[in-house]
Amino acid sequence: MQVIHSIDALRAALKPYVMQDKSIGLVPTMGALHNGHAALIKESVKDCDVTVVSVFLNPIQFGKNEDLDKYPKRLEADAKLAESIGADFVFAPSVAEMYPEGDPLTLVRDESLESLYCGAYRPGHFRGVLTVVSKLFLITGANHAYFGEKDYQQVFLIERMVRDLNFNIKIHRVKIVREESGLALSSRNEYLSELEHSQALSINNGLHQAKELFEKGERRVALLRDVVIKSILANRGQVQYVEVVDQKTLQKFSAVLQPDVKVVILVAAFFGKTRLIDNIELN
């Protein structure tokens, strides 16, 4: 496996595979790889002839008061993990390599959805995500890309970007990987104290309580939301949002769900200073 830092070097390394019409899989990450990322890499290795794992802490998707500076950085360990799973390349560019003229003036946006849910509390976040992901698609020429469903809004926006801009790439959703406790794996979990980690289990517990109610026939949006909110608040979490939304459009529901609708509950909450997200589909 090779660790490559420049765009030109990566394109040169991938050119023989492109010429041979080999399939290229891309796993975009910000580093601090864990078993959730490992699941994405495994899917790419299984499906594709070549797998590229990008490790890039993208500054333009972080706001002024967010955790860019303290976000875990451990490229050597990330590369070892990627290699152990079967990745062929780790692409780890500098900020100057990706944005040689500073913050880009050309940005990829989804005006109808970028300001909802996570976007409402992280202005500019999804513009940064869509811009860097589109750059990675173009740099690698990948045929396949792999994203975890924990970032539900993110993967929805990326799928729509691919359709709207005619990228010749297939997006693969990979199910949320969880600890045995049920907490969704995240690089930010390591910020949690032991007590906060225990309290954070209330997110998944509340989501499953809502799912049980849904499966018993409950269709009132307010009640489904409230059971999640109460679970988090009872464990000293701070709710940022809990919304019941349409899987197909990501538009939120506010009254009573129709019998045939496919629903996902999206959650963001703080435990201490650590912001966590999660979701559950109700079909």
Supply the residues annotated as catalytic: 37
8-state DSSP, 185: P
**HEC profile for 41-97?**
HHHHHHHCCEEEEEECCCHHHCCCCCCCCCCCCCHHHHHHHHHHHCCCEEECCCHHH
Q: How far, in Å, CA of 13 to CA of 89, rounded?
A: 9
Who's near 264: CB < 8 A, 6+ residues apart? 152, 244, 245, 246, 247, 279, 280, 281, 282
Across the strands, what pairs with 3? 90
Which tokens in the block code for residue 246? 């349409």
Q: How far, in Å, CA of 93 to CA of 42, rounded?
A: 22
